[in-house]
Amino acid sequence: MAGALEPQAQVNSGSGWLILRDLVLAAVVVILIWLGLGILRSETMLSGLGPFVGKLVQALVALAVGVVGIWALFIVVNSLVEYLPARATNAIRPFVFVLPAIAVVSLYLVFPAVGTIIQSFTEVPEGEGLLYNYAQAFSDPKLLLALRNNAIWLVLAPAGALLIGLTFAGLVDRIKREALAKIFIFLPLCISGAGAAVIWRFVYEWRPPGRPQIGILNAIVTLFGGDPIPWLQEIPTNTLALVVVMIWLQAGFAMVILSAAIKGVPTELVEAARIDGAGEFQTFVRVVLPSIRGSMITVFTTIAIAVLKVFDIVYVTTNGNFDTDVIANRMFNEMFRFRNFGFATALAVILFLAVVPIMVVNVRNLRQQGIGV
Amino acid sequence: MRNRTWLLVVVCLAVIVAACGDGGAGTTTAAPGTTAAPGTTAGSATTAAAGTTAATGEPTGYAELDQAMAGDFAGTTVEIVAQWVEGEAENFNASLDPFREATGIDVQYEGLTDYELTLQTRVDGNDAPDLAQIAQPGKMISYASEGQLVDISPWFNTDKLVEEQVGGFFELTQFDGGVYGVYYKTDVKSIVWYPVEPFEAAGYTIPTTWDEMTALSDQIIADGNGNPWCIGIESEAADGWVATDWIEDIVLRTAGVDFYNQWWKHEVPFNSPEVLAAAEEMASIWFAPDYVYGGNVAINATNIRDVANPMFDPAGPQCWFQKQAAWIPEFWPGNRDVSDRSQWANPPGEASSFFYLPGIDPAVGNPVLGAGDMFVMFTDGDRPEVRALLEYLATPQGAQAWIELGGFISPNTTVPVEWYTSYPNTELVPILNNADSFGFDASDLMPAEVGAGSFWTGMVDWVAANGEGTEEIFQSIEDGWPAG
Amino acid sequence: MTAETASAGAAPSLANVSQDATRVPGEPKSRSWLVRALVLVIAVAWTVPTAGLLISSLRPEVDVSGTGWWTIFAHPFELTQFTVANYERVLTAEGLFGAFINSLIVTIPATVIPITLAAFAAYGFAWTRFRGRSFLFAIVVGLLVVPLQMSLVPLLRLYGNYDLVGTFVGVWLAHTGFGLPLAIYLLYNYISQLPKDIFESAYIDGATPFTAFTRLVLPLSFPAIASFAIFQFLWVWNDLLVSLVFLGTNPDVAVLTARVSQLVGSRGAAWHLLTAGAFVSMVVPLIVFLALQRFFVRGLLAGSVKG
């Protein structure tokens, strides 16, 4: 079971000279980082070097500060902690590992999230109750529609991406040019959101019947004698069409994580199944799948959360028209376009709550693996 | 919003008319009865002659600008942002250069992408620029009511502004007893583009009344020349705004500008009978069989950038009319790829030109629908050098370079008419001259929930239903009008 | 296909893993064509949309809106139907080189910092004991759901007070904050599954938790770290929103995505430049992907446990 181990008490032979050395080292690291940040922020310091060299020097300083600096900080702090009495060291050290992350996350996510929750209750018209924004939300038929659409997304997108990613990861595991094959699934991830929007605009392009179709889907439809279909206008085809975009984008994520997991399945296990006479497919289902169950849940969870937060796909294709709206898109519009902070924050909280069941399943899974969460 | 008494009436660029000397002056300094605020009647022809030549060191009529021209603020920096990037940014920078040179002030212009979001986040993050361009008066009001903007009325020579600017624009910058912006640029939306050569070859003539326009539409269909109208309202995150422009143009033409102004102020219901009648009129073009290329599905499926593609089809126009403001030619096929305008395959003015979207009710006359951009000053920007720049932008010189480069109409009536020598300005100015009234884009004036929300999406739903359920759709927009 | 090259007994070490070693032993030959066919079908389906756009970005605008991109295959060697004008304009755009370097300056630390913090934290959560461990972990993972957009405004306000707007440090930290929950979640799921015995033997050998982390956890978690690194790199590289908000479009700091979106114009006129820009900026993520692919090898864990 994880977390059950204790390292042997480290007895640092606490020589004053060593402590001094490490303290000086710590000071030097801090000063260097400080100087580096100064150089990065100063507009004039690098300007004497000319645009090209200046830029390169700036890049090197940035990398030194950002990449080396973060490691130097960890090493220095840890070495200082080890001079403490053994018990104190063991008590404090976990926090050396955990606290930096907690601190950053608190600042960037907890603090705004708490503000969001408070705002969702307090930012109401005068004379209205605390739940005003929520009441508004659940009595808005367009919002209920968005909730329904989110549910459709939630069912189809993670499952679709997982299935494709898993199939592909499993298949390419046994062919020669694995890395090459993976690139094709991975490619969509490399494209910026705006680029992806243009790509799918082209796929779903509709031209009036009788005119040359320039969207590949309608070209195929008309090739077989059908009338071109306005994919993004027809309900409910349009929501499915948007889900396909999400699956297209996320399958690469699923593939990379699951491929790494499949590689992690001990060879001995696979070997043993083979010796027992299991076929290719059977081995995969009976040995590999159970071993990567954790990773599959991870992938599913991650994509499910991404799906709940999805808004850019909808925003640039239909902007929620033709019954395709989703919560996050509505939230964006309320927040940045209509400046209805109360309503927007209430939507954020609703999204937050929608994820709770998914996280419960996750926690349960981690428990089953014997990890005390 | 409601407590403001201003009224949007523009009598037209009276001064330009006067300077034109084309005999129009007498006939078009029109409709004094419709102006709301005193001083907006365009009686400033004489000041135009006096001219305000900022760059020559003569007094400009603006205190800070005079000081700046005397070099008092040399070495200071002003940060100004707008949504103009690339070509438009070059034009704007060219307009700023005389100021930079004369004053020694370092004006840093930044063209922001994702403009509204970026500006909003910068303001929210206490990182507002000194001056910013704003297209929607509603946005100015929301910033002003949050206390983000400087009330310029204590020091800005607003009398001069009122005197020089086209009537109505100044009122749009007023809020809660203060003045929060200065109009810099205007757009004319009531124009219809058509392909010149095929049009003339087919023997068609430019319609001057609404009925002539529908008759011509019928004739095009009867001649087997495809569909008369090219319409598309898909526009990424802003689907539907083209349709709101149409409704507005028709309301102006059927119910008049006074009703129009009551309408966007919500002094009358959004779904007043006049508006439903306008929708009816619009439906008789948009949803009439064969009138629109590809029918209603195409209207919703076609991006505003692609609307005119069938108009320039190699096999001849598949549709003939596109109602859109003067910036649209840069999206036409053969123009989009090309940054050098002289290399455009479909140069506006040759391959295509425009006519004024005709009036409907003779009693209302010929109104013009337009929009504009103002500059506002954020609270951190209230320094003399920033004031000077804002004042400079109110002078004709502040826009001279851009006007001469083309595609820019100044709301300042003292701009010498000989600056407007390039297409399409040469064509737009007469339209403005002949206009009986001017309506500012209502969707920009309505609360964002409507003007950038339910009005847009309602139009999309209406088109999707091929014009069915008009009353329900307009009723639901009315129901969703925000309280307060 | 000869499949018997990698015998299960001899666990490959990191240094000499060859392509063949990644193959499962005893693979029946008869099935391989089916596997290849399936791989091909999925790969093609996934690539067609992108390929269509790639071809479109090489055609003149008039052709793009007139005929389908596949029509070029009618005469694929007629080179006059192609144009590199879009790429020319993107590549010669003013400030592109600076934007490219800025993108690197932003992306590399914004990938390394969160991974470092997350690996330490995941290790701390999985293999050390302290009060409130479960609670803190649940909170961190729960933060996965906080939508980024909600954080922008309060953070900007904070940044404004400390002059962090428009600085690289500010944007590194922002990307770190937004990326950490997922990084911790993914790495925890991997690190917590490492076999217990390797830590026991390490501690017996006198390792401290810190050295156990650097010498055991990091190398053993390489597949997980590499896969997350790929994604974090991609997200940051392709990000427009965070960099627009925290860095802005000032040429001194503006990144590639911001520069390209400026080229495209306020009304989105030049989408073809956008796509050309997208394909240009795709090159770097692909290199990263290929470089980190090397670490996805079988037997890493087995080898190290025994070694």
The whole-number pLDDT of residue C275 equals 78
pLDDT at B49 > cutoff 50: no
Same domain, C205 and C56: no
Q: Which domain holds residue C301?
A: 91-306
The whole-number pLDDT of residue B17 equals 33
C224 found inside a domain? yes
Q: How many domains does chain A have?
A: 2
Least confident range from A66-80, B9-23, B158-172, C12-26: namely B9-23
Same domain, C73 and C144: no
Looking up residue C159, the CATH number of its domain turns out to be 1.10.3720.10
Using a CB–CB cut-off of 8 Å, the residues of A that contact B are: 125, 201, 206-208, 230, 232-233, 315-316, 318-322, 333, 336-340
* CB-based contact C38 A101, cutoff 8 Å: no
Give the largest Cα separation in chain C, rounded.
73
CA distance C260 to chain A (A): 11
The whole-number pLDDT of residue B446 equals 93
Mean pLDDT of B339-351: 85
Q: Out of A100, A121, A142, pick the residue that ends a domain.
A: A121
Mean pLDDT of B17-26: 34
Same domain, A171 and A111: no
Q: How confident is the model at residue B290 (pLDDT cuts 50, 70, 90)?
A: very high
pLDDT at A135 > cutoff 90: yes
Cα(A174)–Cα(B422) distance, integer angstroms:
67
The whole-number pLDDT of residue B36 equals 34
pLDDT at B462 > cutoff 90: yes
| DSSP state at residue B54 | G
Helices A293-308 and A237-264 sit at what angle, rounded to 10 degrees?
A: 150
A5 found inside a domain? no
A50 found inside a domain? yes
Question: Is residue A204 within 8 Å of A240, Cβ to Cβ?
Answer: no
Question: Is residue A72 within 8 Å of C106, Cβ to Cβ?
Answer: no
Strand B191-195 relative to strand B319-323, pairing: antiparallel
Looking up residue A327, the CATH number of its domain turns out to be 1.10.3720.10
Same domain, C176 and C259: yes
The whole-number pLDDT of residue B24 equals 33
Same domain, C41 and C127: no
C145 found inside a domain? yes
Contacts of B460 in chain A (CB under 8 A): 321-322
Same domain, A111 and A146: no
pLDDT in tens, A12-24: 555 677 788 888 8
* CB-based contact C249 B113, cutoff 8 Å: yes
Average pLDDT of every residue of chain A = 85
Q: Out of C65, C83, C101, pick the residue that ends a domain.
A: C83
pLDDT in tens, A312-353: 888 878 889 999 999 989 988 888 788 888 899 899 889 888
C12 found inside a domain? no
Same domain, A222 and A327: yes
- In Å, what is the CA distance from C72 to each residue of A224, A348, B434? 21, 47, 50
Same domain, A210 and A273: yes
Q: Out of A91, A121, A151, pick the residue that ends a domain.
A: A121
Q: How confident is the model at residue B311 (pLDDT cuts 50, 70, 90)?
A: very high
What residues contact residue B121 under an 8 Å CB cut-off, 6+ apart?
C152, C153, C156, C245
The whole-number pLDDT of residue A13 equals 52
Same domain, A334 and A212: yes
Same domain, A181 and A325: yes
A7 found inside a domain? no
Cα(B109)–Cα(B141) distance, integer angstroms:
24
Residues constituting chain B: 484
Contacts of A206 in chain B (CB under 8 A): 297-298, 301
Kindly write down the DSSP assignment for every residue of B176-224, as one continuous string: TTEE--EEEEEEE--EEEEEHHHHHHTT-----SHHHHHHHHHHHHHTT
The whole-number pLDDT of residue A373 equals 39
C242 found inside a domain? yes
Mutate which of B300, B303, B472 to disrupt the A interface (most A C-beta within 10 Å)?
A: B300
Same domain, A34 and A142: no
Same domain, A137 and A93: no
Same domain, C154 and C267: yes
* β-pair partners for B371: B187
Whether C133 contacts chain A with CB within 8 A: yes
Rounded to the nearest angstrom, the gap between the alpha carbon of residue A346 and the centroid of all alpha carbons in its chain is 23
Same domain, C47 and C100: no
Helices of type H across chain C: 32-57, 61-66, 85-91, 96-127, 133-142, 148-161, 168-191, 196-204, 209-212, 218-220, 222-238, 241-246, 256-264, 271-293, 300-306
Which tops the pLDDT comparison, A72 or B281? B281
C261 found inside a domain? yes
Q: How many domains does chain C have?
A: 2
Please report the domains of chain B, with CATH numbers, ordered by start residue.
14-18+53-188+368-431 (3.40.190.10), 191-366+444-479 (3.40.190.10)
Q: What is the CA radius of gyration of chain C?
A: 24
Mean pLDDT of A137-146: 93
Q: How confident is the model at residue B57 (pLDDT cuts 50, 70, 90)?
A: low
- CA-nearest residue to C62 within chain B is B333
Same domain, C79 and C99: no
A286 found inside a domain? yes
What residues contact residue C248 under an 8 Å CB cut-off, 6+ apart?
B110, B112, B118, B122, C165, C166, C254, C258
Kindly write down the DSSP assignment for every residue of B345-400, as one continuous string: SS-BTTTEEEEE---S-TTT--EEEEEEEEEEEBGGG-SHHHHHHHHHHHSTHHHH
Q: Out of C83, C114, C146, pick the residue that ends a domain.
A: C83
The whole-number pLDDT of residue B230 equals 97
Same domain, C296 and C191: yes
Least confident range from B130-144, B273-287, C217-231: namely C217-231
The whole-number pLDDT of residue C270 equals 66
pLDDT at A187 > cutoff 80: yes
C199 found inside a domain? yes
* β-pair partners for B369: B439
* Cis peptide bond upstream of B411, omega within 30: no
A24 found inside a domain? yes
Question: Is residue A206 within 8 Å of C68, Cβ to Cβ?
Answer: no
Same domain, A104 and A158: no
A43 found inside a domain? yes
pLDDT at B472 > cutoff 80: yes
C252 found inside a domain? yes
Contacts of B306 in chain C (CB under 8 A): 65
What residues contact residue A315 under an 8 Å CB cut-off, 6+ apart?
A329, A332, B236, B237
Q: Out of A90, A121, A152, pick the residue that ends a domain.
A: A121
**What is the mean pLDDT, run by run of 10 residues, along chain C of 307 residues?**
34 35 44 83 93 88 84 84 84 84 91 93 89 84 79 81 84 93 89 84 86 88 87 90 83 84 66 80 88 71 39
Least confident range from B118-127, B190-199, C206-215: namely B118-127
Cα(A276)–Cα(A309) distance, integer angstroms:
46
The whole-number pLDDT of residue B287 equals 97
Shortest CA distance to B1 belongs to which of B262, B176, B250, B242? B176
CA distance C255 to chain A (A): 13
Same domain, C205 and C138: yes
Mean pLDDT of B312-325: 94
- CA-nearest residue to B83 within chain C is C266
The whole-number pLDDT of residue A319 equals 86
Mutate which of A123, A133, A142, A207 to disrupt the B interface (most B C-beta within 10 Å)?
A: A207
Q: How many CB atoms lie within 10 A of CB C4?
A: 10
Cα(B176)–Cα(B37) distance, integer angstroms:
16
Same domain, A112 and A139: no
A127 found inside a domain? no
Q: How confident is the model at residue A369 (pLDDT cuts 50, 70, 90)?
A: low
C23 found inside a domain? no
Which tops the pLDDT comparison, A368 or C250? C250
Average pLDDT of every residue of chain B = 85
Same domain, C102 and C47: no
Same domain, A216 and A352: yes
Least confident range from A168-172, B119-123, C214-218: namely B119-123
pLDDT at A163 > cutoff 80: yes
Same domain, C146 and C282: yes
Same domain, C248 and C220: yes
The whole-number pLDDT of residue C299 equals 54
pLDDT in tens, A213-241: 989 999 999 999 999 999 999 999 999 99
A181 found inside a domain? yes
Q: Which domain holds residue A59?
A: 16-121
pLDDT at A39 > cutoff 80: no
Mean pLDDT of B36-59: 42
* β-pair partners for B132: B81, B376
The proportion of chain B whose per-residue pLDDT surpasses 70, expressed as a percent, equals: 88
Same domain, A103 and A140: no
The whole-number pLDDT of residue C293 equals 79
